[in-house]
Amino acid sequence: MSTKEELIQALYPEDILSVAKDLTEGEVKLLKQLNDLLEEKYRDSINEHWINATEPEDYFEELGKLNYFNNPLLFEGREDARTPSQLFQFFMSYTVAKFDVSLATLLGVHQGLGHNAFLFGGSKEQVAYYIPKLQSHELRTCFALTEPEHGSDVAGGLETTAKKEGDKWIINGAKKWIGGANVADVIPVFAVDVETGKPKGFIIEPNQEGVDIDVIQHKIALRIVPNTNIKLNNVVVTEDKRLQNINSFKDIAKVLYSTRAGVAYMATGAMAGALRATKDYVTKRKQFGKEISKYQLIQEKLAMMQGNLAQAMATCAQLARMQAKGEYDEVATSTAKMMNALRLRESVAMGRGITGGNGILAAEYDIARFFSDAEAVFTYEGTHEINALVIGRFITGDSAFI
């Protein structure tokens, strides 16, 4: 039977700063189960799914079977805890992203944004009803905030409206880039109360009258993720389906801040995936009579990719420590997201360059998938520029958003 240290070495040989050593034995065992599931069930088909823009049909159900919110393995030695550790959550996101960024994004949308919209935004009754079903994957959710004309400025530019009529709300508007809305059971939709001008959250189902959903086509990144447009035409929502604790953009921002760290985690895992894909290539590819891994220029780029990854892992580990203490700091999470996504973009470019012309072949070589998906990670959960402005406001005391 393998020791914890042996399992960590097998799972994360790139962890040169030994970040994973603080995981518990139970956490490592569950991460191995996760890794085995990904490798054994989806490795042979993942590039095909990316090319064809299809999600493995049983992926969501298989993840649910891992019981990653409540698995007893996660509470061995920490019996007083009520939730999985933040370090485990980092490595779970990291492990999936190391395999594929689209699959990590699908997980993050459900586990992070969608789940936390109900957890933070719901009443006690709503939390009691929805959270167990979301955690077990009995229900699937997403997060409908971004609009066709409003992304970074959505805090002050939300155009979707909610009008109160008796004990019902009438929702009108449109959403864009909503990942997985077409396969969700429940969708948290954010709209402005026309009477107060403040945003509120509503629970909508895809098959409701007045809800029209279509999948966005021709993406160059995250092709496995079914990003959607949602049109809302006089959609009726009863008061009991209003998320009772979403009454301002500050309430919505709590969800965003709590999950922005997850994007930093995904960016880091994607760096590890790109490094693995590049290493696998260079140790097999021969040019001028020997494997290209034996050339100095190749090793220098691999060293840079490893260095970027080590720094990103250290940042994520510290962010996990902060959040374990309840310190959900927007400057810290924005810094982690901005820098890790930037280093990811740099790393995949080096990996793509090392692999030459073969690096643009998505069917045969994994690096093409990581290279393309890095562009989406660079943009979502706050663009590089928007996160920079969050940090800049902290440094100077001046807001430069407008």
Give me the active site residues, please. 381
DSSP 360: G
Cα(361)–Cα(354) distance, integer angstroms:
13
Find tokens 């309840």 and name the residue.
326
Give the H or E element holding residue 10: helix 4-11
CA distance 90 to 87: 5
Strand bridging mode 227-238 / 290-291: unpaired
Tokens at residue 259, please?
A: 């999950």
Coil, helix or strand at residue 243 = strand
Q: How many angstroms separate the first and last alpha carbons of the chain?
A: 59
> How many CB atoms within 10 Å of residue 1?
4
Give the CA distances from residue 145 to residues 85, 113, 202, 208, 325, in Å, rounded to whole numbers and listed in that order. 28, 10, 11, 18, 28
DSSP state of 22: G
Nearest-angstrom CA–CA distance, 322 and 332 = 9
